[in-house]
């Protein structure tokens, strides 16, 4: 069984918060999945290193801010693209097929 210290648990908790924010903002699934992978990796890194709790809090706060900004930027870009196309999906029409 995996033993998680307080830094691991705090990092995973902050990752879950970032994922929740992304899902509430209707962010793209690929962006939310990327944030999840980066959050787990950052939690593992922060939890494995040995330094003071103050530095850990500062790094965790910076990471959660970065992840939130990534989600927000992707969501705003997605909404802007949808408004540019009148709410229709951004799919180009395929070439017309000859009728049989």
- For residue 46, give every residue at least 6 positions away whose Cβ sits within 8 Å of its Cβ, in sequence order, or none: 7, 8, 11, 56, 59, 60, 63
Q: What is the pLDDT of residue 38?
A: 82
Domain extents for the chain?
6-82
Question: How confident is the model over 11-21, as a mean pLDDT?
Answer: 85
Q: What is the pLDDT of residue 98?
A: 57
Contact (Cβ atoms closer than 8 angstroms) between residue 18 and residue 35: yes
Q: State the number of CA atoms in the 13 A half-sphere of 79 facing the CB.
A: 9
Q: Taking 80 as the threshold, does the pLDDT of residue 100 lie above it?
A: no
Q: What sections of the chain are H helices per DSSP?
A: 6-24, 29-48, 53-84
Cα first-last separation, the chain: 62
Question: How confident is the model over 24-37, as a mean pLDDT?
Answer: 82
């Amino acid at each position: 069984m995996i033993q998680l210290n307080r830094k691991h648990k705090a990092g995973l908790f902050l990752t879950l918060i970032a994922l929740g924010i992304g899902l509430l903002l209707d962010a793209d699934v690929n962006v939310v999945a990327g944030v999840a992978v980066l959050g787990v990796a950052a939690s593992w890194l922060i939890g494995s290193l040995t330094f003071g709790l103050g530095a850990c809090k500062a790094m965790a706060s910076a990471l959660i801010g970065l992840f939130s900004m990534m989600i927000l930027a992707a969501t705003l870009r997605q909404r802007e693209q949808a408004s540019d196309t009148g709410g229709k999906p951004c799919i180009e029409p395929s070439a017309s097929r000859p009728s049989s």
